[in-house]
């Protein structure tokens, strides 16, 4: 799984046969330049998810429900989740959870909304959990996450996503659940992995966590191309004849005659 936020990139991921695309609220950070995911809105996310679906008709598409679109009450969670499914063509929605949201997951599942339960580091809660920190490093916290995962399974979640939990916690959950477990910064024992596209591509100048593997450095490729373009325009190397559109000779002759007669 990779995050994806636009149709053009979704086409590339479709061609690369990426199984699953997550339209993540990290969009607020990597595309909009905010320092947290909180400013992502329902309108943004559903519009982006629909664009990603147009670019990738076959990937398993996960819509990330933004801050306060599901936390207020189960009814709002169902209505907002439904927009990802009906308006954008998502296959499931992801929400950041702990045991306090069991009733919401139950209600969403009962309303036919497939829910991926995101546990561990929950970026929408950093204001109350003390920032972007690994979760479950202490035995009691680790046990709490393992229990939360079980509660989500029992509440009807169809998949789990673990963010920034120790390898041992991820392994315990992956071994003890029937659900597919997707990991990010949570070690190799999960069933699948997700990365934020900008981090793995080296795109946009962010500072990904150490546990992210970079598969490219497109940042430099883009900057080099932008510089080369600006230089070509300044030196008139671009546009050349090949980059320009000439008139049909007969039309050109008529055009010139018309210009001459106008000027007397
Ligand atoms: O929004 C997102 O991109 C995510 C990933 C970090 C898993 O939730």
- Give pLDDT tens digits for 150-200: 999 999 999 999 999 999 999 999 999 999 999 999 999 999 999 999 999
The answer on 172 and 57 residing in a single domain is yes
The answer on 231 and 162 residing in a single domain is no
Single residue among 200, 216, 232 that ends a domain in this structure? 216
The answer on 131 and 249 residing in a single domain is no
Task: Please identify every residue annotated as catalytic.
Answer: 163
Range of the domain at 17: 2-216
| pLDDT tens, residue by residue, 44-85 | 999 999 999 999 999 999 999 999 999 999 999 999 999 999
Q: How far apart are CA 78 and CA 6, in angstroms?
A: 25
| In contact, 73 and 27? CB cutoff 8 Å | no
**Mean pLDDT calculated for residue range 248-257:** 98
Q: How many structural domains comprise the chain?
A: 2
The answer on 184 and 237 residing in a single domain is no
Question: Which ligand 1 atom lies nearest to the CA of residue 3?
Answer: 3
The answer on 248 and 180 residing in a single domain is no
Which run of H or of E encompasses 182? strand 181-184
The answer on 228 and 209 residing in a single domain is no
| In contact, 63 and 45? CB cutoff 8 Å | yes
| In contact, 1 and 62? CB cutoff 8 Å | yes
- CATH number for the domain including 88? 3.20.20.60
* Torsion sign (Cα): 151, 91, 51, 105: negative
Which run of H or of E encompasses 192? strand 192-193
The answer on 125 and 170 residing in a single domain is yes
CA 67–ligand 1 middle distance (angstroms): 12
Of 194, 200, 209, the one to substitute when testing ligand 1's pocket (max ligand atoms within 8 A of C-beta) is: 194
Closest protein CA for atom 4 of ligand 1: 24
The answer on 180 and 66 residing in a single domain is yes
**Residue 52 tokens, joined:** 């990603």
Predicted pLDDT of residue 50 = 98
Q: Is 96 in the pocket of ligand 1 (CB under 6 A)?
A: no
Closest protein CA for atom 3 of ligand 1: 24
- Which residues are CB-neighbours of 209 under 8 A, at least 6 positions away? 164, 185, 199
**Backbone phi, psi, residue 3, to 5°:** -75, 150
The answer on 75 and 114 residing in a single domain is yes
Q: What is the pTM of this model?
A: 0.94
Q: Is 25 in the pocket of ligand 1 (CB under 6 A)?
A: yes
Asked if omega into 239 is within 30° of 0 (cis), the reply is: yes
CA 23–ligand 1 middle distance (angstroms): 8
The answer on 165 and 45 residing in a single domain is yes
Q: Please determine, for residue 24, whether its predicted confidence score (pLDDT) is greater than 80.
A: yes
Predicted pLDDT of residue 205 = 84
Q: Is 29 in the pocket of ligand 1 (CB under 6 A)?
A: no
Question: Which ligand 1 atom lies nearest to the CA of residue 37?
Answer: 1
| In contact, 57 and 22? CB cutoff 8 Å | no
The answer on 107 and 198 residing in a single domain is yes
CA 34–ligand 1 middle distance (angstroms): 14
Q: Is 120 in the pocket of ligand 1 (CB under 6 A)?
A: no
Q: How far apart are CA 122 and CA 4, in angstroms?
A: 19
Q: Please determine, for residue 129, whether its predicted confidence score (pLDDT) is greater than 90.
A: no
The answer on 207 and 174 residing in a single domain is yes
Q: How far apart are CA 246 and CA 97, in angstroms?
A: 60
Contacts 24+ apart (CB under 8 A), 188-192: 190/162, 192/1, 192/19, 192/20
CA 66–ligand 1 middle distance (angstroms): 11
**Residue 22 tokens, joined:** 């997550």
């Amino acid at each position: 799984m990779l995050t994806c936020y636009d149709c053009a990139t979704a086409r590339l991921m479709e061609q690369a046969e990426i199984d699953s695309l997550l339209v993540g609220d990290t969009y607020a950070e990597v595309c909009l330049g905010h320092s947290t995911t909180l400013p992502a809105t329902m309108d943004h996310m559903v519009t982006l998810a629909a664009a990603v679906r147009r670019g990738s008709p076959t990937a398993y598409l996960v819509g990330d429900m933004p801050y306060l679109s599901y936390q207020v009450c189960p009814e709002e969670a169902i209505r907002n989740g439904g927009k990802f499914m009906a308006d954008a063509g998502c296959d499931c929605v992801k929400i950041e959870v702990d045991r306090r949201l069991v009733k919401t997951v139950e209600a969403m599942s009962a309303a036919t909304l497939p829910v991926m339960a995101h546990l561990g580091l929950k970026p929408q809660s950093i204001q109350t959990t003390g920032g972007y920190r690994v979760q479950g490093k202490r035995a009691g916290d680790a046990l709490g996450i393992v229990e939360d995962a079980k509660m989500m399974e029992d509440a009807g979640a169809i998949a789990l996503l673990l963010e920034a939990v120790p390898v041992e916690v991820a392994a315990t959950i992956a071994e003890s659940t029937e659900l597919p477990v997707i990991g990010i910064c949570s070690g190799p024992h999960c069933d699948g992995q997700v990365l934020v596209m900008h981090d793995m591509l080296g795109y946009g100048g962010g500072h990904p966590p150490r546990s992210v593997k970079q598969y490219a450095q497109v940042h430099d490729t883009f900057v080099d191309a932008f510089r080369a373009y600006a230089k070509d325009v300044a030196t008139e190397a671009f546009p050349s004849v090949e980059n320009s559109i000439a008139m049909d000779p007969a039309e050109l002759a008529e055009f010139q005659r018309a210009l001459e007669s106008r000027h007397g």
